[in-house]
Each structure stands twice: as structure tokens, then as C-alpha cells.
Amino acid sequence: MEIVKTSLSGVYIINNFNAQDSRGTFVKMFNKESFLQENLDFDIRESYYSISKKNVIRGMHFQTPPHDHEKLVYVPQGKILDLIVDLRPNSKTYKNYISVEISGENKKSVIIPKGLAHGFRSLENDTITVYNVSTEYNPNFDYGISYNSFGFNWEIEQPILSKRDAQFISLEDFCVKNPF
């Protein structure tokens, strides 16, 4: 397992350990000791997954304090373009974003700290995205920003969105009342 820093403070791309033989593939997505060596004290409180059609955009989601959480995201099947936006006003990378391709083929995952919005575009049909989070879901603290409000080119004209995701406010409007 190799843990690689990104340009956003606290966001890491993880090149997961994997082994392949005649039976198939084995992938390790989490190792507490490896995380602690990078000062990542991550405890999983909830785990869930989504299955997405090609060109679905999910996001940009986050929970606010006191239910904000860290996420560990990986894709065992299919491929996504993962997006992370820094919502922390005191961060040097406030309002900046990064994107990373995560797939069943490259076996990467990403760790996202508290105070960042997360979303992705599914690049293949039947893409499975797994989320491990450090707090339990609380609908009263669940928010999002519009996927097209922070300058990223998703390279798609008509994405498939949920009604909820289509109604999110812009990054600028969120920043006016930012609770982070």
C-alpha cells in the first residue's frame, strides 16, 4: 500500500496492495497501521456503495459539523472520475479542487478529510463505488454544492443527476454561510 499526498491538504491517493493469480485478484483497501504511519487516524463508522450508469454524476456531497466526516472511496468494478473540492475557509487550498480516475483496473482509492465536498462522474455502466465514512449519516447535516459551480470541466453536456443533486446551491452561495 502506497499513500500519496495530493495538492489538497489531507487528501491522499492510495495505491492499494493487490495480488493476481489463477484464481483472480485480491485487493487490500485499508490497513490501519499504514494509515497511522501517515498520521491518518481513520475509523470506519459506516460503509455503503452505489451502482451507477455511465455519465451519472453524483455529488458534490458532504456533511457539516458536528457530523462532518472523512471518506475512503474506492471502485471495485468500473471507472469514475472522482472530484474533491476544499470547503475549509482556513485552508491554503480553499475552493480548489482535484480530480482523479479511480477504477477496478487501477485499484486506487482516495481518502478525503472533513470539510471537503466529494462527487464523481461514472465513466462506465454498472460502476460500483464504495464509501467508508468516519461518522454516521445524519440528514440534518447533509449538504451539497452544485457539480458545475466551481469551474471543473466534466466533459459531458447532459449528465444523469438526481433531483436532489440538481438542486444544490453554488460553491459561492455555500461559501457565504460556510459552517466549516
Q: Which residues are catalytic?
A: 61, 131
Burial class (CB in 10 A: 0-12, 13-18, 19+), 78: buried
Whether residue 83 contacts residue 120, with contact meaning beta carbons closer than 8 Å, is answered with yes
The CA R_g of the chain, rounded to the nearest whole Å, is 16
Cell of 67: 457530523
In sequence order, what are the residues at sequence separation of 6 or more whose Cβ sits closer than 8 angstroms to the Cβ of residue 37?
3
Q: How far, in Å, CA of 107 to CA of 16, rounded?
A: 6
